[in-house]
Amino acid sequence: MLTGVKCRATGPEYLGPVLIDPCPCDSPVAGPSVPHAAGLRDWFRRAALCQAPSHAAGRLRGVNVALLHPPGAGGRKTLLHKAIDDLGANAVSIEFAHDDQRGTRGVAAMARVLGRLYDAVDCANLERATVQSIAQEAGVPVFCDLGGEQHPVKAYGELWTIEKAVDDAGRRIRFIGNTQAEPARTFVAAADRLGFGIEADGQGAQAPAVPFTVDASDPCRWTLRKGSTPVGEALRLNNRTCLIQALLLREILGR
C-alpha cells in the first residue's frame, strides 16, 4: 500500500525525469558516471556543510521519501535511513513486487502514483530496467539503492576520507581487491581525477610504503589505513552519510 502526503520543500521544482545513479554531476544522467575533479570537490564541500548539525538538521522537514524494496527485504536499515532521519524527512518503506501480467504499464502507473505522493524515491535491489522505468515516469528524483554497499557513493565516501587526511606524505593509494567491480571501479576513476596515484596490490611484503591503503578484498566491508594506522569505521560512515545528505539536498531542494 502506498501511503503519504506529498509536501515539496521550498526551492526550485524538480525538472525530471532522471535516474540519479550515483553522483551529482553538472547535469545528472542515467547510468553511472564519475564527475570531474571540480564536481567532486564541490560535492565534498556540500557534504562538509552537512557535518554541522545547524546546517543539516530539519532541512528536509515535510519531505517524504519512498524506499522501494522486494517483499521481505525491508527490515534492513542503511545509511540512507539515517541520512533521511537526520534531515528531518520521512522515510516510508514500500514493498514492490513486479507484476509480469501488467508489465511496464503497471510499473509506469505505480511510478506516477509515487510521484504524486512522494518527493523522492529510492529503489533497493530492484531490476535495473524497473528502476529506469520508475525514473522516467515518477517526475521526482529516483535513486538506485543509495544506502547500499554496492552503490558508488561508498567509494566516494572512502575517497573523501582520504582527501581530508592528505599531508606531505603524498597522494598515493594502494588498492587491494578487484578494481573492475563496483564500487571499486568508481573509486579508482575518481581517485585518478583527484590526482591520486593508484597502486594495485600484488607486491606483498616487498611493496614500498604508501600513504594510504584501501583493502576491498571483502567487497561488503572495506578497510582503510593511513600508513599503518586504521581509520575508524565510524568516521568513514559519517562521511558517507554526509555525502548522501548533500546529494538528497541537491536533488530534492535544487541546491
Per-residue model confidence as pLDDT tens digits over 13-23 = 333 333 444 44
Q: What span, in angstroms and rounded, lies between the C-alpha atoms of 23 and 32?
A: 8
Q: What span, in angstroms and rounded, lies between the C-alpha atoms of 211 and 164?
A: 13
- pLDDT of 96 above 50: yes
User: Is the Cβ–Cβ distance between 61 and 89 less than 8 Å?
Assistant: yes
pTM, two decimals, is: 0.84
User: Is the Cβ–Cβ distance between 68 and 91 less than 8 Å?
Assistant: no
Q: What span, in angstroms and rounded, lies between the C-alpha atoms of 70 and 126?
A: 7
Phi and psi at 180, nearest 5°, equal -95, -10
| Three cell numbers, residue 149 | 554497499
Q: Which DSSP helix (H) or strand (E) runs through 142?
A: strand 142-144
Q: What span, in angstroms and rounded, lies between the C-alpha atoms of 242 and 244?
A: 5
Q: What span, in angstroms and rounded, lies between the C-alpha atoms of 94 and 204?
A: 47
pLDDT classification of 8: cutoffs 50, 70, 90? very low
Q: What span, in angstroms and rounded, lies between the C-alpha atoms of 107 and 96?
A: 10
What is the second-level CATH architecture of the domain 19-148+240-253? 3-Layer(aba) Sandwich (3.40)
Domain segments of the chain as ranges: 19-148+240-253, 153-231
Q: What is the pLDDT of residues 130-142, one digit of tens each?
A: 898 999 999 999 9
Q: Which DSSP helix (H) or strand (E) runs through 104?
A: helix 103-117
